[in-house]
Amino acid sequence: MFFAAFTATPWHDQAVTLSGTLLMLTLFYLTVFVFRSRLHWFKILCVLCLAGLYLGSYVYYARTLLEWLPILQKVSLLLNVLLIIGLEYWAEAGDFGQVRAILEG
């Protein structure tokens, strides 16, 4: 939400780049942990979230198909919100037992 303050400023493009990079990094590591869990439906949702984010970034930076960008952004946001809410309410600590064993070494 911090980067939303830069929407109507000259730093809009830099804010989009920084926030997009941080979101890609966050979703990538979240996907790694979900892939090591037993949450099969969330694995599919993680791949869809990453694909939506990558596609939206490609359209934004390549300046191709810009008329689709608002739709891509809304779909990507919806998928991200579903993933986070889904993990919050339907995932349990036991689903990540293998991840915990790896982290504890």
Q: Is the pLDDT of residue 27 over 70?
A: yes
Nearest in space to 20 (alpha carbons), one of 28, 10, 8: 28
The predicted structure's pLDDT at residue 90: 93
Q: In sequence order, which ranges of the chain are alpha helices (DSSP H)?
A: 12-35, 40-62, 69-90, 97-104
Q: Where are the domains of the chain?
A: 38-105
> What are the tens digits of pLDDT across the range 51-90?
999 999 999 999 999 999 999 999 999 999 999 999 999 9
